[in-house]
Structure 1
């Protein structure tokens, strides 16, 4: 949560005990396309603990973005339950920030104004909002670009602004749908490091969808590997046991091979990046 907003909202609140931030039980999602039924997800059971960084990995079309949209409240499940902090998810919420593959900045607003749009309904005053916006622009490394227009930003800078907008309201959960997929390799690697740094500071519960194995390994505290459609959870890898996030490390290489083998066992190679 934003330190500025946290102090303004409830300076005297006791620390909350550890909890499950997101939960899915028996979730199934179907779509109807040209009169035919398509089962995107079936039997999804998943808990995401408060403060975790969970990456959902799988090839295009396996339902991982659909699962993210269900947690965001942008889609409704055909069966099963979806909970946020123990409460049913019935629609979008300010407490679940969302970052898409494209920055989706408003072209008629500056960087600072774009970030501030997430605070339009925040129950705090203008000065607190201004400080929160400045804090998060600094957090993503855009100090000095507050008054820049979106067309004046590089792709990576625009995505930084989108991340700041997703975090500025102090959401319980940040949901990210392949946020670096449209960027070149160098910019993507730089922003992966920045996102990891931001998460280590903020400890916002994060759920990130990717088809890039290395990205999942570099960022996640757990990796959820999905099977081809209909999407199921094939395996969950726990990365909290002293993993060195270095391509040259033998342990990293072994785990990478194991994740790839899980994808291969599900005939899920197509559309999965190994770089």
Structure 2
């Protein structure tokens, strides 16, 4: 009798599994992992959420050893949100829920939310062309996504421009019946370049729905390798090294301030 009962159970299980697969019934992904401090690798006990593309949140709490376990029944790309921490790796996680039960392990690396925290430092543009690189766009996209998850943040964008990409020029202008030669310095050209770059960055962030009030942009100027190697000796004499720098991290993004009230819906 017992053998008959177990045989029936097995047949039922086999039938249900086959039915689930053929009918598209989804199962569950058991997400397991740890929360670690990105700098110290120490475990973090905290509450955080996985936020779906539809805005729905899955609340999670990690234990004192940083571990967590949560069942997920819907496929999608999930962002990681926390009130007091920022997830720096991975920024998002893709969950694919199929017809069979599966388990997945992941480690999230967090940093504490604080003013002055460096978020990105990349080659954002190739001088003297005022065009954003792929890295630059990804860095700006990152803060746009972060703004959606944590609206209380304000950002500080710093761009660094190497003056040695621009050379002093002389132009002739006409004043009345007279011609006059004027000198346009490398700094003046760098400043005009900065204006173009600022406009480009603002337009890009506007296209990604990031309000201009949520960030500030500061410009810093330097002269090639002189910033890193101020002078060198040539035939016993000191000479400034004005060689242009290549592949320098010229776009930097930090957390400027953190407010306690959510102004996201305030215009």
* Fold-level similarity (TM above 0.5): no
Higher strand share: 2
Higher helix share: 1
Q: Flag the structure with more relative contact order, 1 or 2, with Cα contacts below 8 A and sequence separation at least 6.
A: 1
For the pair shown, which has the larger CA radius of gyration, 1 or 2? 2
